Amino acid sequence: MRPEPGSRLRHGALIMAFAALGGIWGGSATAFTPGFPGPAVTTTEHSEALGSYPLPIGPWAEGSMITRRTEGALRKSAWRIDSPGITTLELMAPLRDQLAEAGFRTIYECESDGCGGFDFRYSTPILPEPDMHVDLGDFRFVAAGRGMGDGAEYLSLMVSRSSRAGFVQLVRVGQPPEPEPLVTASTRTPEPAEPGLPRPDPEIGDLALLLEAGAVPLDDLSFETGAATLEAGEFASLAMLAAYLHTHPDRALALVGHTDAEGGLEGNIALSKRRAEAVRDRLIRDHGVPPVQVTAEGVGFLSPRDSNLTDEGRMRNRRVEAMLTSTR
């Protein structure tokens, strides 16, 4: 396994961390079994018999991030922890202890801005909303590993929260083929949306996910091919967003544009931001949304929700998402 091309070592501490990846861990080969400080619901799981994962082993800084390319049996899992008010430290602390007990050695650990904030989050593979939610101002990340040579295992943990729940993402590479552990599942009936939020539209999903998970894709939007011009007409998602913002004048959101992987990163970031700005302009001009309540950002192809190897996957990756940025 070698570092990702273009990765640069910038700090002495990171050099030590990188050296540790050569394989000095001990510990058993038992699969890591996460335990959570509250009722947990598995929101998604994805497995590959052989896959690769760019494991972050340093912060985003100076326009890049140090990663290590890991390969092997790949499993991605996410959970929602139904514990309103739980903090990210309360989520991460017991998971760190469990990693140590399972023989894993921490390679890199960071929190929010210390990781690189927005840039770190969108340069790290994250499962899509609503399965995994990341609050840009409140998340924690740990990379760890154990074993040596062909038997080495690596994993990363990302934890964050919304106002109603905690969220955990676990990516494991080289995990032994053991049965998945059972986790405590919540059987509660989902709580109703807050008063004043428009009812779900079956074509675009429930925008109440903004409250529960923090972000939602606006999949009914349509742009002119290869351009940032939002087509004319009424879009149900924008009407619902506007109604939500008018009903909650203390809330704010960011519109985040995404593209497929065709073309260069710089051009795709610029295109994705222009598309997000077009949506913002439409909300302000046609729906009377106060400009202070909505911003526009673009991340290009850095946060795919599907494979870029198929036409269908690339189409799903071209989107604008609404992300709730308020913390109260």
**What is the per-residue pLDDT across 117-138, written as a single tens digit (0 to 9) for each?**
888 988 888 998 888 999 888 9
Collapsing DSSP to helix, strand or coil, 271 comes out as helix
Q: Is 55 exposed, middle or buried (0-12, 13-18, 19+ CB in 10 A)?
A: buried
Average pLDDT over residues 105-116: 91
Model pLDDT for residues 146-163, shown as the tens digit of each residue:
877 677 899 999 999 988
Q: Domain limits of the chain?
A: 12-173, 209-324
Tens digit of pLDDT for each residue in 267-300?
Answer: 999 999 999 999 999 999 999 999 999 999 999 9
Q: Cα–Cα distance between 257 and 315 in angstroms, integer?
A: 13
- Between the CA of residue 10 and those of 59, 140, 328, what are the distances in Å? 10, 21, 36
CA–CA distance, 105 with 326 (Å, rounded to integer) = 35
Q: Which of 155, 41, 161 is nearest to 89 (CA)?
A: 161
Closest CA relative to residue 299, chosen from 321, 279, 316, 315: 321
Return all residues near 127 (Cβ < 8 A) that are at least 6 apart: 43, 44, 46, 76, 78, 169
Mean pLDDT of 18-35: 50
Neighbours of 284 (CB within 10 A): 15
* C-alpha distances out from residue 315 to 209, 263, 298, 312, Å: 22, 15, 17, 5
The CATH number given to 12-173 is: 3.40.1000
Pairing state between β 153-161 and 253-258: unpaired
Whole-number pLDDT of residue 175: 59
Architecture of domain 209-324 in this structure: 2-Layer Sandwich (3.30)
With cut-offs at 50, 70 and 90, classify the pLDDT of residue 214: low
pTM comes to 0.51
Task: Look up residue 188 and give its amino acid.
Answer: R
